[in-house]
Structure 1
Amino acid sequence: MPLDDHPRDRTGRDLREPDSSTTRSLNRRVVLKASAGLAALTAAGIAVVTPSAERARGQEVGGTRAREWTPDQQTGAFAAASTGAWVTFEADYVFFALGASWDGGVGTWPIVEIQLGADGSTWNETIPLAAQTDDGGQPTRDGRLFTPLAFTDAVRFVRYRTVDSAGAPGEVAGLRFVYIDPSDGPWDDDISAGGELTSASTDPLAPPEVVTRAEWGADERWRFDTFGEVWPPEYQTVTHIIIHHTATANRPLDVAGAIRAIYYYHAVSQGWGDIGYNYLVDHNGRIYQGRFGGQNVIGGHAYQFAIGSSGISTIGNFQTEEVTDAAKSGLVAITAFVARALDPRGSADLQEAPNLPIISSHRDVNATTCPGDRLWNDLPEIRELVAATLDSGQLDTGNPAGIAVGDLVRV
């Protein structure tokens, strides 16, 4: 595997280079499986350009379907919401992720309580959605405030009510919902398990295997609007690694689909033009390319601290649950590669943060609970594991990263 400043896919292709296959149309297929559980997603990113609202309406690009629903589409919805009654609507198709947004002038008081169901008569547990204020981004498309993205099993019906923190009902100006079906695209079992495990790499500092944007089904058209590229890549030498969690279900059955939903919500719904993270790592230790542009591209994950850092997000919620051994191994592998010229045990200034550890977390630079208490508590161990990896001179860790055939891992 060639050694340079850029990770490569399994064929040796530079991940900075666009692949024509990323713009292919994907044929819709029958949904056979869905993400497990209901969870809220804390996404991150910086809105560099404010595109028009038309980009997020009725999108059916590539293979991912996404549409918006607003209360003005249903008679009596506004009146019902003002009294605290549940408002029910039916989506045009089965979906697996849902987010809400409203006019920025409303502020952060609303809590949108949602319940989801397959038939409109039985409902899952209530999920409270509030505006993201700790996501590392800026006010997004048209100055709107967005909630986290909630993942679900296959459903078609939504009911909601809008209340404040005390439970008092209220009408929310500009309320919109976006529901996303990312199931038509590569699934986990469509993605190669990775290269063969070898006893030694010919390149002592070879990067770990990375699932490319093409492999997880990124539609590169989402990065553009009628005026051109929404968020053109800009570059800054990376001096720090910032660790995140997505706060989603910890073991989604289809990680590639979940990433496509995140990508759509970042790139199109919120108008950023791309996914905010530089890399993502799943519970099996598999590493995914995030932001387009390769090494040193500025992501959107920690406000101004994204400049000069690489944002690596572990898929899952690690506030109370431990990171799997495989996920930790994958996190160490990609962190070691990105930090291969840095001192993982050291500290340095980053923007307004003096003497910040080279390997830090979102909560170390912004007011947030990310990456969860359990993952944050693992940071000292992760720093030592990265240092040991670099000291060994061996970055090529096989797949899953650092897990050999026959190893027992905690899942």
Structure 2
Amino acid sequence: MFKIRSMRGFLTSSIGATCATALALPLTLPATNASAATATPTAATEVTAIPGSTRSLPLAPLSAERVLGTAPLQGLHRPGGEHFSLVGVVWDDPDTRLHGRVQVRTRSAATGAWSGWQDVETHNADHGADPGTAERGARRVRGATAPLWVGASQGVDVRVRADGTGRDGRTGRPRPPRSSLPSGLRLQLVDPGDEAPPEGAPLRGAPADQPHTDLDTDAARAASTANTDIARYGALDIPALGKRATEQELTRLRGPVKGKPHIGARPRIVTRRGWGADEAVRSGGFVYSKKIKAVFVHHTASGNNYTCSEAPSVIRSIYRYHVDSMGWRDIGYNFLVDKCGTIYEGRAGGVAKAVLGAHTLGFNNSSTGIAVIGTYGTAKPPKAAVTALSRLAAWKLGLYGVNPRGKTYLTSAGGNLYAKGKKVRLNVISGHQDGYATECPGERLYAKLGTARSGAARYQGR
């Protein structure tokens, strides 16, 4: 049995931005970079808790497959001994789709009671880095289901069945399976770790009146520095600005604007430091597009059973799932929005910059991805979340002079709707399904995109 463990230890300020957590990974999962926990402490080093962990467990054929003669069925039952809040299933080949059904039930860490069976969204390949990029081609990239938030749990039961269940209507015999399961199926149990640390002692390398003690690695310092064009170093959040102050900031960032500037007032954004990102998890450095021409709206498909106070834990879990389990360089989304309308920084590199994400396979270049935390196929997205989406889009698109009500052309890098090199005319604010054949961002959220466009344009003063 293998376990990706939570580590607590000494970190030195000499650790490079490319360092990642040391992971005792199973043989079928890729290794990460060198251990940050094995560095030798220096006199200036303080003890820093590394939050969270990912445990990867192999699935095995279940006896029901042999007894019933139905479609391939794999699973795992662990009644206790775990600690996790988010689950998902991964497999070896990112280009192979899981045609079937994944269900889990979990045992509450608080009550010991088992939940009912829940479906996990199996079609998740449409989220990811563009074909041909270094991130997409990395050997550690895996196929995966969407992550599912289950809350603090200590036991798990999972079953994965391929398409082809049922019996022949004429003979009554089991039908042969229409598909097989991908190779290397593994259950991922993600522990988000401790809550985001509170304001504290003076920051290394910063004025004494700036809080906190956790920016003691190159990766953490780089993530915070990337936002210093609009926020103080080490900020836990980037405060909201009024319309006039935002227009002045636009001039400072982009130079004089001809005519009336059209930009929405900058909304409050919780930084990665604010939601407790362990910067040692992700790959070092940042990758950028030249500009932002469009916004793609997503839902995380992680379920709606979270409270707003749990949102940072959900994000930390998705972050670990994207990196530890799926093999991406960082969390895929550029921004996330919770059900109460709080906006969070996603992929590192600076919220005002054109950070290249991994959210809309084929159209990540020149776009930004905003994910509303939850599942909105049948559930109505909260008004606060839609409003926050509009305000964020009005500001982000305004930084690049883009009209939220407009159309734009993006060139496909390849996908199941548009061939590589195809120039596609899209709404400036589009749903994920506009660029890829997928149900994301869910029917109910997709129906709100017209509201988001008109609201964003109004916030820009158009």
Residue 92 of structure 1 deviates from its aligned partner by 4.0
Query: Where do residues 94-105 of structure 1 align in structure 2 (5 Å cutoff)?
Result: 94-104=83-93
Residue 194 of structure 1 deviates from its aligned partner by 8.1
TM-score (norm 2): 0.63
Cα deviations by residue, 1:206-251 (Å, 9 ceiling, x for unpaired) = 5211100000011111123xxxx3x741322111111111123336
Whether 2:343 is the aligned partner of 1:273: answer: no
Tell me how far apart the structure 2 counterparts of residues 360 and 259 of structure 1 sit (CA, whole Å): 23
Q: In the alignment, which residue of structure 2 is the partner of 1:240?
A: 294
Query: Where do residues 287-298 of structure 1 align in structure 2 (5 Å cutoff)?
Result: 287-294=343-350, 295-298=353-356
Partner SS, residue 162 of structure 1 = strand
Tell me how far apart the structure 1 counterparts of residues 446 and 427 of structure 2 sit (CA, whole Å): 13
Q: In the alignment, which residue of structure 1 is the partner of 2:119?
A: 128
Partner SS, residue 154 of structure 1 = strand
Residue identity matched to 1:286: T
Tell me how far apart the structure 1 counterparts of residues 291 and 447 of structure 2 sit (CA, whole Å): 27
Tell me how far apart the structure 1 counterparts of residues 189 and 336 of structure 2 sit (CA, whole Å): 22
Query: Given the alignment, which residue of 384, 393, 396 partners 2:454?
Result: 384
Q: In the alignment, which residue of structure 2 is the partner of 1:55?
A: 32
Q: In the alignment, which residue of structure 1 is the partner of 2:162?
A: 164
Q: In the alignment, which residue of structure 2 is the partner of 1:80?
A: 63
Among the aligned pairs, what percent are the same residue? 30
Query: Where do residues 8-407 of structure 1 align in structure 2 (5 Å cutoff)?
Result: 53-55=30-32, 62-71=50-59, 77-78=60-61, 80=63, 82-83=65-66, 87-90=76-79, 92-104=81-93, 107-118=97-108, 123-129=114-120, 130-137=122-129, 142=140, 144-167=142-165, 173-186=183-196, 202-204=245-247, 206-224=265-283, 229=284, 232-250=286-304, 252-253=306-307, 254-294=310-350, 295-340=353-398, 341-351=401-411, 352-391=422-461
Structure whose CA Rg is larger:
2
CA RMSD of aligned residues (A): 3.7
With over 3 angstroms needed to count, the CA separation of the structure-2 counterparts of 1:90 and 1:69, relative to structure 1, is farther
With over 3 angstroms needed to count, the CA separation of the structure-2 counterparts of 1:140 and 1:186, relative to structure 1, is same
Tell me how far apart the structure 2 counterparts of residues 286 and 270 of structure 1 sit (CA, whole Å): 26
Q: Is the 8 A contact 1:81 1:161 kept in 2?
A: no
Question: Tell me, which stretches of 5 or more residues in structure 2 are unaligned?
Answer: 1-14, 19-27, 38-48, 67-72, 130-135, 167-176, 201-234, 248-262, 412-421
Tell me how far apart the structure 2 counterparts of residues 59 and 68 of structure 1 sit (CA, whole Å): 21
With over 3 angstroms needed to count, the CA separation of the structure-2 counterparts of 1:278 and 1:197, relative to structure 1, is closer
Q: Is the 8 A contact 2:331 2:347 kept in 1?
A: yes
Residue identity matched to 1:347: K
Partner SS, residue 104 of structure 2 = strand
Partner SS, residue 306 of structure 2 = coil
With over 3 angstroms needed to count, the CA separation of the structure-2 counterparts of 1:172 and 1:314, relative to structure 1, is closer
With over 3 angstroms needed to count, the CA separation of the structure-2 counterparts of 1:194 and 1:185, relative to structure 1, is same
With over 3 angstroms needed to count, the CA separation of the structure-2 counterparts of 1:188 and 1:239, relative to structure 1, is farther
Q: In the alignment, which residue of structure 2 is the partner of 1:28?
A: none
Partner SS, residue 163 of structure 1 = strand
With over 3 angstroms needed to count, the CA separation of the structure-2 counterparts of 1:386 and 1:188, relative to structure 1, is farther
Tell me how far apart the structure 1 counterparts of residues 440 and 123 of structure 2 sit (CA, whole Å): 15
Tell me how far apart the structure 1 counterparts of residues 182 and 294 of structure 2 sit (CA, whole Å): 40
With over 3 angstroms needed to count, the CA separation of the structure-2 counterparts of 1:263 and 1:366, relative to structure 1, is same
With over 3 angstroms needed to count, the CA separation of the structure-2 counterparts of 1:140 and 1:321, relative to structure 1, is farther
Cα deviations by residue, 1:293-337 (Å, 9 ceiling, x for unpaired) = 121111111112110111111112222222222111211111001
Q: Is the 8 A contact 1:112 1:163 kept in 2?
A: yes
Q: State which drifts further: 272-281 or 160-169.
A: 160-169
Q: State which drifts further: 103-112 or 124-133.
A: 103-112
Question: Tell me, which stretches of 5 or more residues in structure 1 are unaligned?
Answer: 1-19, 24-50, 72-76, 393-411
With over 3 angstroms needed to count, the CA separation of the structure-2 counterparts of 1:348 and 1:173, relative to structure 1, is closer
Q: Is the 8 A contact 2:127 2:358 kept in 1?
A: no
TM-score (norm 1): 0.70
With over 3 angstroms needed to count, the CA separation of the structure-2 counterparts of 1:196 and 1:306, relative to structure 1, is closer
Residue identity matched to 2:329: G
Tell me how far apart the structure 2 counterparts of residues 114 and 85 of structure 1 sit (CA, whole Å): 12
Q: In the alignment, which residue of structure 1 is the partner of 2:220?
A: none
With over 3 angstroms needed to count, the CA separation of the structure-2 counterparts of 1:63 and 1:145, relative to structure 1, is same
Partner SS, residue 363 of structure 1 = helix
Tell me how far apart the structure 1 counterparts of residues 198 and 151 of structure 2 sit (CA, whole Å): 17
Tell me how far apart the structure 1 counterparts of residues 446 and 456 of structure 2 sit (CA, whole Å): 15
Which is bigger in relative contact order (C-alpha 8 A, separation at least 6)? Answer: 1
Tell me how far apart the structure 2 counterparts of residues 106 and 303 of structure 1 sit (CA, whole Å): 15
Tell me how far apart the structure 1 counterparts of residues 54 and 278 of structure 2 sit (CA, whole Å): 13
Tell me how far apart the structure 2 counterparts of residues 185 and 148 of structure 1 sit (CA, whole Å): 23
Residue 387 of structure 1 deviates from its aligned partner by 1.1
Residue 70 of structure 1 deviates from its aligned partner by 1.9
Tell me how far apart the structure 2 counterparts of residues 354 and 196 of structure 1 sit (CA, whole Å): 34
